[in-house]
Amino acid sequence: MTRRLVATYLILAAVVLVALEIPLGIVYERSQRSDLQQRVERDAVALAALMEDTLQAGTTAGDPTLTDVVERYSRSTDARVAVVGPGGRLLADSDDTLGLERDFSTRPEIASALEGTIATGTRRSETLGTSLLYVAVPVASGGEVHGAVRVSVPTSRLDALVMRYWLVLGGVALIVLAAVAVAGRWLALWVTRPLTHLRDATRRAEAGDLAVRADAVEGPAEVRELASAFNDMISRLDLLVGTQEQFVADASHQLRSPLTALRLRIENLQHEVGPEAGEELESAIGEVDRLSRLVNGLLSLARADRRAPSRARQDVGRIVSERADAWRVAAADGDVEIVEEVGGGLHAVLSPGSLEQVLDNLIANALDAAPRGTAVRLEAARAGQGIVVAVSDQGPGMEADAREHAFDRFWRGREDRIGSGLGLAIVKSLVEADSGSVALDAAPGGGLRVVVILPAGIAAPVR
């Protein structure tokens, strides 16, 4: 965006400079040529006045008076002066290399001058390699033309002066464009830097970081107002989400005790009723257990949604091995073996206790799905810039469309499946809170493989 703004400023400045400098240069060139023509014409008229008496008295080629005037003027101005008689014969020439007495009557400017008209124009001189500005004026008195004087000057000096002026205009344009680029970049940064911060803050808020705030100090007033409105919105959203999370956590926590008491009362009633009522009470206990699991899941999910205040560099391999050992007794009760494949030197930046809770949920799900006599495999290895932790079972697995919804809250897949439908949602919240990712794949040979990718690196404060 900064580059586009600077480019726009430069284009506008270039258009203005072209609109101003090209007409200015053209006017300057025309003015200089007009001034030169007027000076040459004035000098030619003055020379004609000086030579009027000599030509009126009649003279021959090479007359000393004419030659002296012609040579003195030529030396002082570097112009060429040619004087012709009434018949167009050359009488004097500052450039006498070709000799005198030549017939100039066929020259258009000389013919016009001999007819009493001042002639001006420009022609190309191949000999001198430049253009010549010429003026031919008649030498007349009493209405009779006695001859003509032609003065011609090279335009090389004028061309050089005009070129120098164009170069000056070009230099001014470059300086102006450079100044516009510097000022435009500063102005563009002043405008776009707060917008960039606001964009980054929006993306972080979209990712779930409700503690982010945009810069509402720098930039134009409109951008500051927009940043302030964004900050107010995020503050209210953070308060709303926090209130909802606190309500879920408090409600879940408060429901645990009544559910425990209800279960105890139902168990006590089982000893006082008959077998038929006992079966109904057993079903009621099952529903209480399911409700308890749901409450515990909601409490865990509420805690998982809250970002950890800090993270630390933890040994992933050690944590995986510890959780495998902790679940081996429960796995043995179901005739399921826990197999671990853990590499060395695996460290990730994690919230305290998050990976342990993730593994507990995944291992519990795997043991629930694993048939007797099979194994649950735990893996931990480095993959690129991250660390992969995987839990695989040899159960019935899931179809591809079911795996797409497995992380949705309260989704259980099969109606007969025991659980609250919050386990994988908790796993996802915990993993993403540590900037990781989780996915479900089909395990080789059948079953389900849950793959968790954790970021490796050094500990950094969470903003």
Interatomic CA distance for residues 460 and 312, integer angstroms = 8
The answer, yes or no, to whether residue 356 has pLDDT greater than 60, is yes
* 293 and 407 assigned to the same domain: no
For residues 264 and 292, the answer to whether their CB atoms sit within 8 Å is: no
Q: Is residue 197 part of a domain?
A: no
Structural domain boundaries enclosing 284: 208-306
Q: Band of the pLDDT at 165, cuts 50, 70, 90?
A: very high
The answer, yes or no, to whether residue 327 has pLDDT greater than 80, is yes
Count CA within 13 A, CB hemisphere, residue 404. 3
pLDDT of residue 429: 79
| Burial zone of 373 (CB within 10 Å; 0-12 exposed, 13-18 middle, 19+ buried) | exposed
Q: Is residue 175 part of a domain?
A: no
Token representation of residue 267: 């168990």
pLDDT of residue 442: 85
pLDDT of residue 418: 45
* 334 and 448 assigned to the same domain: yes
Last residue of a domain, one of 160, 192, 219: 160
CB 128: neighbour CB atoms within 10 A?
Answer: 12
> Range with the lowest mean pLDDT among 148-157, 274-283, 315-324?
274-283
b (16+ CB within 10 A) / e for 197-229: bbeebeebbeeeebebbbbbeebeeebbebbee
Sign of CA pseudo-dihedral 98, 103, 105, 106: negative
* 314 and 298 assigned to the same domain: no
Token representation of residue 430: 């915990």
b (16+ CB within 10 A) / e for 19-54: eebeeebeebbeebbeebbebbbebbbebbeebbeb
**Which position has the token pair 């797409």?**
404
| Burial zone of 296 (CB within 10 Å; 0-12 exposed, 13-18 middle, 19+ buried) | middle
pTM for the model stands at 0.49
Q: Is residue 441 part of a domain?
A: yes
* 450 and 318 assigned to the same domain: yes
Q: Band of the pLDDT at 167, cuts 50, 70, 90?
A: very high
pLDDT tens-digit profile of 390-420? Answer: 999 988 888 777 777 677 765 555 544 444 5
Mean pLDDT of the chain: 81
* 330 and 441 assigned to the same domain: yes
The answer, yes or no, to whether residue 12 has pLDDT greater than 70, is yes
What CATH number has the domain bearing residue 407?
Answer: 3.30.565.10
CB 325: neighbour CB atoms within 10 A?
Answer: 11
* 360 and 410 assigned to the same domain: yes
What CATH number has the domain bearing residue 301?
Answer: 1.10.287.130
pLDDT of residue 460: 40
* 104 and 73 assigned to the same domain: yes
pLDDT tens-digit profile of 80-135? Answer: 899 988 888 888 888 877 777 788 888 888 899 998 899 998 888 776 677 888 99
Last residue of a domain, one of 275, 306, 337: 306
Q: Is residue 55 part of a domain?
A: yes
pLDDT tens-digit profile of 174-228? Answer: 999 999 999 988 888 888 888 888 888 888 887 777 788 888 888 888 888 988 9
pLDDT of residue 77: 84
* 295 and 320 assigned to the same domain: no
Q: Is residue 171 part of a domain?
A: no
* Domains identified in the chain, total number: 3
Q: Is residue 189 part of a domain?
A: no
Last residue of a domain, one of 306, 321, 338: 306
pLDDT tens-digit profile of 40-54? Answer: 899 999 998 888 888
Q: Is residue 249 part of a domain?
A: yes
* 429 and 295 assigned to the same domain: no
* 154 and 301 assigned to the same domain: no
What CATH number has the domain bearing residue 93?
Answer: 3.30.450.20
Interatomic CA distance for residues 42 and 36, integer angstroms = 10
* 9 and 156 assigned to the same domain: yes
* 439 and 319 assigned to the same domain: yes
pLDDT tens-digit profile of 133-147? Answer: 899 999 988 788 889
pLDDT tens-digit profile of 64-83? Answer: 888 888 889 988 888 889 99
What SS3 class is residue 149? Answer: strand
Q: Is residue 183 part of a domain?
A: no
Interatomic CA distance for residues 131 and 108, integer angstroms = 17
Mean pLDDT of 278-293: 70
